[in-house]
């Protein structure tokens, strides 16, 4: 197994802070060329093996920037001395590469990235708020802004999502294809176009089978205590935790289906993480080449799938 980090770094050329200078120096060291965004803003993008020293340097710089520019939650104010500095925006995602032998051990898959995203109708309320833990829970079907791009996408089999969210939706042709493959209509929640009476824009994927408490295990997440009001157990993603495989306790799978959900909810806009069967992964990725899915392993494989040793 190898893991690569994909970086996107936005900087302001007119900013003379030490943080921007450090970022630029690292990019020059790598021989990266910037893409002009607008005004004085530039963007660097590149991918690097996480065993390399430059990965550690960039993550240290990111950590340093986050600490210096963090929002003061107690006073709800920013440091006035920092307001004139436009800090580099360093964004990182991970790309794991598994050997065929390793992936043979997968018992399921999760969606890491959908190739398309569309905004929902922001004027409509889809979620309720827990008064105790301030977590949002979906209580209505989503409606999407009527856009030609989404209508065009609905001419073929594809998966799409909402910006920055875990919800996954399939187009009408993909829905029909999955129904033919044997999925139940209970695995889908219709989503509509806003302003158009009950015109379907796609279908939100939904799990009928919920895994047992503690079945989901990943070192990138920290479990929290159940909320005293809504009783939900949530997992908080640790900042800059790097990449860790997801494991499932096979004794807590329940009635395993093509679409399954973790007992635990993600923090904030609470969503259960959906885990798909290997067959479902094949159906989805063969139909939609832009969809990225990664394997989930049985708990007994923990410690047996490790990064290849390389010099940094």
Average pLDDT per run of 10 along the chain, which is 312 residues long? 92 86 87 87 91 90 78 48 62 92 95 90 78 84 89 96 88 98 96 85 96 92 86 80 90 96 82 94 96 96 74 36
Residues 228 and 243 in one domain: yes
Residue range of the domain that includes 26: 2-97
272 touches 168 (CB < 8 A): no
Residues 47 and 186 in one domain: no
Predicted local distance difference test score (pLDDT) of residue 86: 55
Classify residue 120 by its DSSP letter. B
Residues 122 and 64 in one domain: no
| Residue count of the chain | 312
Predicted local distance difference test score (pLDDT) of residue 288: 97
Residues 91 and 140 in one domain: no
Q: What is the pTM of this model?
A: 0.85
Residues 88 and 143 in one domain: no
Residues 180 and 56 in one domain: no
Predicted local distance difference test score (pLDDT) of residue 123: 66
Residues 74 and 120 in one domain: no
Residues 121 and 269 in one domain: yes
Residues 81 and 191 in one domain: no
Rounded-to-integer distance, Cα 6 and Cα 45, Å: 7
Q: Is the dihedral of CA 196, 200, 205, 208 positive or negative?
A: positive
In the chain, the N- to C-terminal Cα span, in Å, equals: 16
Per the structure, how many domains does the chain have? Answer: 2
Query: For residue 6, is it within any domain?
Result: yes
Per DSSP, the three-state class of 301 is helix
Residues 129 and 61 in one domain: no
Query: For residue 159, is it within any domain?
Result: yes
Query: For residue 57, is it within any domain?
Result: yes
Residue with tokens 């302003």: 195
Query: For residue 45, is it within any domain?
Result: yes
Last residue of a domain, one of 64, 97, 130: 97
24 touches 90 (CB < 8 A): no
Contacts of 272 (CB under 8 A, 6+ apart): 207, 210, 261, 262, 263, 264, 265, 266
Query: For residue 307, is it within any domain?
Result: no
Last residue of a domain, one of 78, 97, 116: 97
63 phi and psi angles, rounded to 5 deg: -60, -40
Query: For residue 311, is it within any domain?
Result: no
Residues 234 and 254 in one domain: yes
Rounded-to-integer distance, Cα 98 and Cα 296, Å: 12
Query: For residue 117, is it within any domain?
Result: yes
Q: Nearest Cα to 164, choosing from 262, 239, 276, 268?
A: 268
What is each CA distance from 263 to 137, 211, 234, 295, in whole angstroms? 14, 5, 9, 19
């Amino acid at each position: 197994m190898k893991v690569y980090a994909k970086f996107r770094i936005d900087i302001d050329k007119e900013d003379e802070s030490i943080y921007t200078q450090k970022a630029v120096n690292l990019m020059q060291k790598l021989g990266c060329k910037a893409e002009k965004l607008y005004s004085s803003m530039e963007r660097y993008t590149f991918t690097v093996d996480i065993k390399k020293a430059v990965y550690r340097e960039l993550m240290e710089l990111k950590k340093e920037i986050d600490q210096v520019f963090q929002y003061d939650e107690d006073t709800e104010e920013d440091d006035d001395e920092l307001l004139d500095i436009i800090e580099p925006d360093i964004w990182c995602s991970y790309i794991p590469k598994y050997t065929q032998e390793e992936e043979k051990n997968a018992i399921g898959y999760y969606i890491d990235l959908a190739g398309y995203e569309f905004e929902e109708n922001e004027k409509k309320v889809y979620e309720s708020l827990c008064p105790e833990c301030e977590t949002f829970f979906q209580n209505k079907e989503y409606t999407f802004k009527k856009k030609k791009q989404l209508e065009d996408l609905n001419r073929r089999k594809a998966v799409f999502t909402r910006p920055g969210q875990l919800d996954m939706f399939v187009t009408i042709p993909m829905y029909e294809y999955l129904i033919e493959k044997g999925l139940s209509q209970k695995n889908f929640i219709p989503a509509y176009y806003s302003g158009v009476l009950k015109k379907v824009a796609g279908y939100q994927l939904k799990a009928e089978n919920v895994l047992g408490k503690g079945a989901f295990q990943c070192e990138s997440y920290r479990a929290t205590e159940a909320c005293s009001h809504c009783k939900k157990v949530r997992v908080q993603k640790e900042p800059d935790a790097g990449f860790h495989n997801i494991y499932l306790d096979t004794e807590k799978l329940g009635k395993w289906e093509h679409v399954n959900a973790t007992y635990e909810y993600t923090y904030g806009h609470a969503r259960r993480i959906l885990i798909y069967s290997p067959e479902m992964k094949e159906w989805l990725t063969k139909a939609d080449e832009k969809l990225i899915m990664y394997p989930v392993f049985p708990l007994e494989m923990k410690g047996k799938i490790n990064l290849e040793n390389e010099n940094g």
